[in-house]
Amino acid sequence: MQYFPTDNALIIRHRTELLRIEPWGTNALRVRATQYMDFTGRKRALTEPLTAGGQTAEISILPDGSAEIKNGRLCIRINPGGVLSFFRDGRLFLREYYRNYFGTESAESRCLKIVGREYKPIIGGDYTLTVRFESRDGEKLFGMGQYQQPYLDLKGCILELAQRNSQVSVPFAVSSLGYGFLWNNPAVGKVSFGKNYTEWRAEATKELDYWVTVGDTPRELILNYTAVTGRAPAMPDGLLGLWQSKLRYRTQEEVLSVAKKYRELGIPLDVIVIDFFHWTRQGDWQFDPEYWPDPKAMCDTLHAQGTKVAVSVWPSVDRKSKNFEELFSRGLLIRTERGSLQTYDYQGDCLEIDVTNPKAREFLWEICKKNYYDYGIDLFWLDNSEPDYAVYDFDNYRYAAGCALEVSNLYPKLYTRAFYDGLTAQKPQNGILNLVRCGWAGSQKYGALIWSGDIPSTFEALRDQLCAGLNMGLAGIPWWTTDIGGFMTDNAGNPAFRELLLRWFEFAVFCPILRMHGDRGPHDIAPLSDKEWGGGYLFTGHDNELWSYGEEAFSIMKKQLNLRLSLKPYLAKLFEESRQNGSPLMRTMFYEFPEDKICWELSDQYMFGPDYLVAPILHAGEFARDIYLPSGNWKNINDGTVLTGAQTVRCAAPLESIPVFQKL
């Protein structure tokens, strides 16, 4: 073991491995290791400039042949066998899993020949990397992005580190032991938070790279984490009310008629969304003039009514697109390693634009600026942003930045960046927001409002979304939303679906963005054209406006929308708080009450900011439920009853409202 301490980093050469540990933010250290001669220098998620405070390392080479490096309250010690141990205020909280006979400490001298950092060479390429840590009984783990499962506490879970439709890998974990851990590696892989040990795996990489911070509360950990990965910008004005969308508005006249009816009913409409196949072909990134003859006039009319306009943009490029040949000849499309060149096959023979190439990002923005932004389009809906592949064979795709196995989790972040950078250059006075289906660590800094993808219209899916939204917030993504009612609906006229829709709407009132969307079956509406391309092509879903589900449902949703509108000043404060310190709007109970042990066990209720406790109805036919109130006084906003906390109460939940308590 050779130590090479510098002014502000501990560098170790251990056999063929080069290891570097250095301060990186408040009470935080970054750990990198490689089998190469030096590091790549890539920052990945750690993009923010480091402040002067909290960056000074205390490095010691100890008499027993070990060494340690401290930054504030965090210390990492490396023993003569190369094993890392992590201490918060002098107390061990994490240690590499090491079961090798050649270890120098007796507690580690076992014959299993398992090491904490394992590199498996890929023939002709880089390494498959596995990193293991000891598990701690009683530890709870949260964050990591969005997975379609009902588990808020991720201890015991195996998570794929890969992007898919409705799955968002954001590899930052918050521990109940008072530390946060960022796997700063965009490679496809997995993490197993096992009872016996934790294992992180990257299928292809050049180096190990992770970041650790410590703090007394989850709030401190999120503050430290977002300081080095970025925070959401200011929320643009005029987006906190109702967003109206469906699959799909097929013409300019449909959009204007829906907005007109909302106006006639006296219902404010903040945003109306134009979904997919409004275009001529995938990759043209333009309106079909047959059905959208004057987009600028449409936008002008809607703007005059106080409504902003969002338009869907896909990364897919049909071979028959007007832009295909230029993109292909310039090498701006994702490549395959073998077989067909095709990467996406929904309604066309498509490749997808390679946004890991800055030239591709510039090309995409310039086309969308000309064909959308210059007409007055306010917001971009960046769909299929994982990207969605015909088959998720990650080993068959290659980007400008490297093979997909090594870098593909970065794709949605860079897709969002293409529009953030483009819009920033226009110097907007009202802020930037992009609705996007996926993200990675740091996506929040590019104005990413992530929604939970194409999920089924079931109460089971609704339960999954609650845990997904809360864990996204703990992964540093404060802007999050869902399709109210779920996306995939077989029969929108079914009374059971109306019950689900209302419960989902009541939940969405207390989400960062309130957004009506979904494919409302059955698909029995004829296309506008028999051509196999253009804006008249493809089916659409049934109506999905507030009035589309009968008088009772309309009355309930209108009342709930009024509640949402009354919260706008409060919402604005929450968005500003997320800009300042990274706090999510939807917060686990323990985020606000970290000293209350019961709050660490709750996964079916949450805090919406510091003031409102929300208890969604997550099962069909449920009209009452138990709610835990932490200490203090709590007012039921539905009936005005004031209750004392530190107790569990039974609360009524009629169809027209869910239990919500205001902290007094």
Just list the catalytic residues. Answer: 383, 386, 454
Q: What is the maximal distance between C-alpha atoms in the chain? A: 81
Q: For the chain, what's the residue count?
A: 664
Peptide bond into 387 cis (omega under 30): yes
Q: How many CA atoms lie within 13 A of 527 on its CB side?
A: 13
User: CA-CA distance, 336 to 304, in Å (whole number)?
Assistant: 47
Q: How many CB atoms lie within 10 A of CB 599?
A: 18
Beta-sheet strand order (sheet of 335-336): 335-336, 397-399, 402-403
SS3 annotation, 523-575: CCCCCCCCCCCCCCCCCCCCCCCHHHHCHHHHHHHHHHHHHHHHCHHHHHHHH
**Token pair for residue 378?**
């306010």
Question: 355 phi and psi, to 5 degrees?
Answer: -75, 0
C-alpha span between 429 and 432 (Å, rounded): 9
Nearest-angstrom CA–CA distance, 385 and 439: 8
Residue 157's contacts (CB-CB under 8 Å, 6 or more residues apart) are 147, 149, 151, 192, 193
The CA distance from 3 to 201, in Å, is 27
Helix (H, G, I), strand (E, B), or coil: what is residue 117? strand
CA dist 497 → 78, 488, 549, 584, 655 (Å)? 57, 11, 10, 30, 13
What are the strands of the beta sheet with 168-175, ordered from one edge? 2-5, 10-14, 17-23, 28-34, 208-214, 179-183, 168-175, 141-146
The CA-atom distances, in angstroms, between 99 and each of 39, 197, 200, 449 are 27, 12, 17, 44
Strands (E), 215-329: 242-244, 271-274, 308-313, 316-318
Beta bridge partners of 28: 213
Cα–Cα nearest to 377, from 321, 437, 302? 302
Interatomic CA distance for residues 175 and 220, integer angstroms? 12
Of 250, 269, 249, 251, residue with least CA distance to 259: 269
Return the closest-CA partner of residue 475 out of 407, 388, 413. Answer: 413
Element spanning 416, H or E:
helix 411-425
Pairwise CA distance, residues 321 & 70, whole Å: 56
Minimal CA–CA distance to 514: which of 476, 561, 553? Answer: 561
Instruction: Give the CA dihedral 454, 457, 462, 464, nearest 10 degrees.
Output: -50
Cα(270)–Cα(243) distance, rounded to whole angstroms?
6
Kindly list the distances between the CA atom of residue 436 and the CA atoms of 145, 313, 383, 433, 548, in Å, as whole numbers in the listed order.
14, 10, 6, 9, 26
d(CA 147, CA 327): 33
C-beta of residue 479 within 8 angstroms of C-beta of residue 450:
yes
